[in-house]
């Protein structure tokens, strides 16, 4: 069969910008990625097209050494702090094992995440549980397994947790404070501002009132304050403001109740680059400036410097992951070229939720035609099921080709669904020229097994 390359098309008049230039190299790919002359792309010495052939598509590929290296980078940047990996970004047994071996703690949001980690061998005292609406099962599991900290998010949780702690025991808790700081890459992921569901407001006095209530519970030990400003934050300034405001509350707690809180958790939300040229948050720069601000703020308030806790998730696992898809159809309209792949919003809902942009590229062969502005669409029955818009792909892309999307390690599988009864993809780890499956593909048999009624 002879395939006629599509003619170059002008950019869509509604496109917000020109397509990014993929000649900028592999800056947003794992450090081990190598673009071979024949167009094949390897990660950790393993060709992505070989993984696609062996495991099918869509498939997530996770570079183990990249994950471990990013864990070490945070440990080096924050030697006097506790670094907790935010499991909501992505969690499986192998990843929990890597994180534990690299000396990090864990931040979980449910009994499911907690049980998986502990049954893998993760020390429960190095795990922190938070969430704005913890279920009774979440709390029972946390207390049964001996979780290190529970972060209180609402007044109702104070009495609920205290009542569940066995007589003669004590549970360490923190209070999640809403400091009134708006930060993050999209309005839907800004969690430190007023008027949203998370935490206890510093401005209206709810946080200070909660401090008093927790201190009045003999089965609870308040170890510190917690905040999480949002996600995809790429500047240090919001964290510095948070330090000042939370130290202010710590000083008031000392003055009113004679209690000096020993811990301060600044959460995570550290931004990564999804496309070449995107801004990123550098852990070393963040660590230095936060440390200076914390020392100065505590000195001004007459407080000892508390133990700092941070919770990176995306910044550790996001850039270590790659999603590989197979092209199913190519369609040219008067305005644009659509390349439809065998995945979409069921394995990556973020473009539909937040308008996130990615930089997919053709792999497995070198395109011979001129690049054209292309929309990479998913397979699902939604007009918004688009993985990438206005990206430059060779005009000779055809059904059967493979596309790879970098920075797919965070909030892809963890947010995936079985929409249209399409099973969730597998996860394959790569390291030193070898690959191994971590999470198997969700099959039609899995989906049918859950349907027990008639």
The reply to whether 221 sits in an annotated binding site is no
The reply to whether 411 sits in an annotated binding site is yes
| Residue 222 sits in the same domain as residue 242 | yes
pTM over the 0.85 mark: yes
CB of 301 closer than 8 Å to CB of 247: yes
Q: State which of 317, 338, 354 marks the end of a domain.
A: 317
| Residue 77 sits in the same domain as residue 55 | no
Phi, then psi, of 135 in degrees rounded to 5: -80, 160
Q: How many domains does the chain have?
A: 2
| Residue 280 sits in the same domain as residue 354 | no
CB of 36 closer than 8 Å to CB of 407: no
| Residue 380 sits in the same domain as residue 429 | yes
Residue 195 lies in a domain: yes
- Helix H or strand E segment including 338: strand 337-341
Residue 6 lies in a domain: no
| Residue 163 sits in the same domain as residue 79 | yes
Mean pLDDT by 10 residues, the chain (454 residues): 37 34 74 95 98 98 98 97 97 98 97 97 97 92 97 94 94 93 54 63 89 96 94 91 95 97 96 94 96 97 98 97 98 90 95 89 94 95 92 96 98 94 97 98 96 90
Residue 1 lies in a domain: no
The reply to whether 93 sits in an annotated binding site is no
The reply to whether 69 sits in an annotated binding site is no
| Residue 290 sits in the same domain as residue 330 | no
| Residue 341 sits in the same domain as residue 401 | yes
The reply to whether 267 sits in an annotated binding site is no
Cα(282)–Cα(236) distance, integer angstroms: 9
Report the DSSP pairing between strands 337-341 and 371-377: parallel
CB of 102 closer than 8 Å to CB of 71: yes
Q: Return the structure tokens found at 88.
A: 């909501």
| Residue 94 sits in the same domain as residue 203 | yes
Query: What is the pLDDT at residue 184?
Result: 52
Residue 381 annotated among the catalytic residues of the structure = yes
Per DSSP, the three-state class of 380 is: coil
Eight-class DSSP state of 83: E
Cα(59)–Cα(48) distance, integer angstroms: 10
Cα(440)–Cα(326) distance, integer angstroms: 18
Which residue in 92, 109, 227, 381 is the catalytic one?
A: 381
* Residue 259: CATH number of its domain: 3.20.20.10
| Residue 376 sits in the same domain as residue 424 | yes
| Residue 51 sits in the same domain as residue 89 | no
Residue 132 lies in a domain: yes
* Residue 334: CATH number of its domain: 2.40.37.10
Q: State which of 302, 317, 332 marks the end of a domain.
A: 317
Torsion of CA 86, 87, 92, 94, to 10 degrees: 30
Query: What is the pLDDT at residue 23?
Result: 40
Query: What is the pLDDT at residue 334?
Result: 81
Tell which phi-psi region holds residue 326, choosing left (phi > 0), alpha (psi between -120 and 50) or beta. Answer: beta
Q: State which of 298, 317, 336 marks the end of a domain.
A: 317
* Strand ranges for 132-186 from DSSP E: 149-152, 171-178
Residue 16 lies in a domain: no
The reply to whether 419 sits in an annotated binding site is no
Domain, as residue range, for 287? 64-317
| Residue 68 sits in the same domain as residue 44 | no
| Residue 199 sits in the same domain as residue 311 | yes
The reply to whether 382 sits in an annotated binding site is yes
């Amino acid at each position: 069969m002879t395939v006629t390359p599509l003619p170059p098309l002008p950019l869509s008049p509604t496109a917000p910008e020109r397509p990014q230039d993929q000649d900028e190299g592999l800056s947003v790919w794992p450090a081990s990625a190598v673009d071979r002359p024949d167009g094949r792309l390897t990660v950790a010495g393993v060709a992505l097209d070989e993984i696609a052939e062996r495991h099918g598509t869509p498939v997530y590929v996770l570079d183990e050494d990249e994950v471990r290296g990013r864990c070490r980078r945070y440990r080096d940047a924050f030697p006097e702090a506790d670094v907790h990996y935010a499991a909501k970004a992505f969690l499986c047994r192998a990843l929990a094992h890597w994180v534990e071996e690299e000396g990090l703690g864990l931040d979980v949001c449910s009994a499911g995440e907690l049980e998986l980690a502990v049954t893998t061998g993760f020390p429960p005292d190095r795990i922190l549980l938070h969430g704005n609406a913890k279920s009774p099962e979440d709390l029972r599991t946390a207390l049964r397994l001996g979780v290190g900290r529970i972060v209180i998010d609402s007044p109702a949780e104070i009495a609920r947790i205290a009542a569940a702690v066995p007589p003669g025991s004590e549970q360490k808790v923190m209070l999640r404070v809403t400091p009134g700081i708006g930060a993050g890459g999209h309005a839907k992921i800004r969690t430190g501002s007023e008027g949203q569901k998370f935490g206890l407001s510093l401005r209206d006095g709810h946080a200070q009132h909660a401090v008093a209530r927790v201190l009045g519970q003999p089965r609870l030990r308040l170890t510190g304050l917690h905040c999480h400003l949002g996600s995809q934050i790429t500047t240090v300034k919001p964290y510095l403001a948070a330090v000042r405001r939370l130290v202010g509350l710590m000083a008031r707690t000392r003055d009113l109740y004679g209690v000096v809180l020993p811990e301060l958790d600044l959460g995570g939300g550290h931004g990564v680059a999804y496309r070449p040229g995107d801004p990123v948050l550098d852990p070393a720069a963040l660590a230095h400036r936060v440390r200076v601000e914390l020392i100065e703020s505590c000195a001004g308030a007459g407080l000892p410097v508390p133990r700092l806790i941070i919770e990176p998730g995306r910044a550790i696992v996001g850039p270590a992951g790659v999603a590989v898809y197979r092209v199913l159809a190519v369609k040219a309209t008067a305005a644009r070229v659509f390349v439809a792949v065998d995945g979409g919003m069921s394995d990556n809902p973020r473009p539909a939720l937040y308008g996130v942009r990615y930089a997919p590229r053709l792999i497995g062969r070198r395109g011979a035609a001129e690049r054209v502005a292309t929309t990479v669409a998913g397979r699902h029955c939604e007009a918004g099921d688009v993985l990438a818009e206005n990206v430059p792909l060779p005009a000779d892309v055809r059904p059967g080709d493979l596309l790879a999307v970098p920075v797919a390690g965070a909030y892809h599988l963890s947010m995936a669904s079985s929409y249209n009864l399409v099973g969730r993809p597998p996860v394959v780890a790569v390291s030193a020229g070898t690959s191994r499956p971590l999470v198997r593909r969700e099959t039609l048999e899995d989906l049918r097994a859950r349907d027990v009624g008639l």
